[in-house]
Structure 1
Amino acid sequence: MKIGTIILAAGDSSRMGGEPKQLLTYKGQSLIRRVTENALALQRGPVVVVLGANRPRIVPELAGLPVTIVDNPSWPTGQASSLKTGLAALYITHKDIEAVLVLHTDQPLVSLGLLLHLFDVRKEEGKGIVACRYDTQLSVPALFDRDYINELLQLKDDKGVKWVIGKHRADCSEVPFEAGSIDLDSKRDVEAFQQAQMQSQ
Structure 2
Amino acid sequence: MGVPTSAEAPAARVAGLVLAAGAGRRYGGPKAPVFLGQALRTLRDGNCDPIIAVLGAGARQARAAVDLAGVQVVDNPGWAEGMASSLRRGITAAARIPEVSAVCVHLVDMPGVSATAVARLLAQAHAGCLIRAHYDGEPGHPVVLGRDHWAEIVATVRGDQGARAYLRRHAAHVTGVECGDVAAGYDIDER
Q: Same fold per TM (> 0.5)?
A: yes
Is 2:171 the counterpart of 1:169? yes
TM-aligned CA deviation for residue 99 of structure 1: 1.0
Kindly indicate which of the two structures has a greater share of residues assigned to helix: 1
1:139-163: CA deviation from partner (whole Å, max 9, x where unpaired): 3201111111112211122231222
TM-aligned CA deviation for residue 177 of structure 1: 3.6
**Aligned positions of 1:13-24 closer than 5 A:** 13-18=24-29, 20-24=30-34
TM-aligned CA deviation for residue 186 of structure 1: 2.0
Rounded to whole Å, the distance in 1 between the matches of 2:89 and 2:114 is: 25
- The structure whose Rg is larger is 1
Rounded to whole Å, the distance in 1 between the matches of 2:161 and 2:136 is: 19
How many residues were matched structurally?
Answer: 177
Gaps of 5+ in 2: 1-11
TM-aligned CA deviation for residue 135 of structure 1: 7.3
Out of 53-62 and 156-165, give the one that drifted further.
156-165
Rounded to whole Å, the distance in 2 between the matches of 1:120 and 1:101 is: 12
Alpha carbons of 1:101 and 1:181: their partners in 2 closer, same or farther (altered >3 Å)? Answer: closer
Out of 161-170 and 126-135, give the one that drifted further.
126-135
Alpha carbons of 1:171 and 1:101: their partners in 2 closer, same or farther (altered >3 Å)? Answer: same
CA RMSD across the alignment:
2.2
User: 3-state DSSP class of the match of 2:69?
Assistant: coil
Rounded to whole Å, the distance in 2 between the matches of 1:139 and 1:95 is: 28
Q: Is the 8 A contact 1:135 1:181 kept in 2?
A: no
Tell me what 1:152 maps to: 153
**Aligned positions of 1:1-201 closer than 5 A:** 1-18=12-29, 20-24=30-34, 31-63=35-67, 65-92=69-96, 94-122=97-125, 128-134=129-135, 137-154=138-155, 155-178=157-180, 180-187=184-191
Alpha carbons of 1:139 and 1:151: their partners in 2 closer, same or farther (altered >3 Å)? Answer: farther
1:108-136: CA deviation from partner (whole Å, max 9, x where unpaired): 1111111111122448xx97211012478
User: 3-state DSSP class of the match of 1:14?
Assistant: coil
Q: Which has the higher contact order (CA 8 A, sep 6+)?
A: 2
User: 3-state DSSP class of the match of 1:17?
Assistant: coil
Alpha carbons of 1:97 and 1:127: their partners in 2 closer, same or farther (altered >3 Å)? Answer: closer
TM-aligned CA deviation for residue 41 of structure 1: 2.5
Q: Is the 8 A contact 2:141 2:185 kept in 1?
A: no
TM-score, normalised relative to structure 1? 0.79
Rounded to whole Å, the distance in 2 between the matches of 1:50 and 1:171 is: 27
